[in-house]
Amino acid sequence: MTKDERLSPAVGNTVADRSLRVSTALSAEVVVLRERLEIVERLAAERGLFGPEEVDAYRPSPEVAAVLKTRRGSFLERVFGALRA
């Protein structure tokens, strides 16, 4: 039995079923990440380090941008690769 089958035994293996699993997993991740980001920004602001405005204004160097692009591509492949049969 695969991990997906243990987590959602009532969901089949159609594209719609796999899409539902992807959507559910991403929704859970977004909630957790938003909460953690909120905590980090609040802690940083309380300590006078930086605030949300500085995060919004940040422009990565070409090296950092390349790392972020690679990680984003890997993430998208992992997530949306699950939609392939």
- For 4-24, what is each residue's pLDDT tens digit? 555 555 667 787 888 888 888
What pLDDT was estimated at residue 33? 94
Q: What percent of the chain lies above the pLDDT cut of 90? A: 51
48 Rama class: left (phi>0) / alpha (psi -120 to 50) / beta:
left
What pLDDT was estimated at residue 50? 93
What pLDDT was estimated at residue 49? 96
In Å, how far are 7, 25, 26, 82 from 4, measured between CA atoms?
5, 11, 14, 11
CB within 8 A of 19, min separation 6: which ones?
A: 83
User: Is pLDDT above 70 for 26?
Assistant: yes
User: Is pLDDT above 80 for 83?
Assistant: no
CA angle at residue 32 from 28 to 34, to 5 degrees? 115
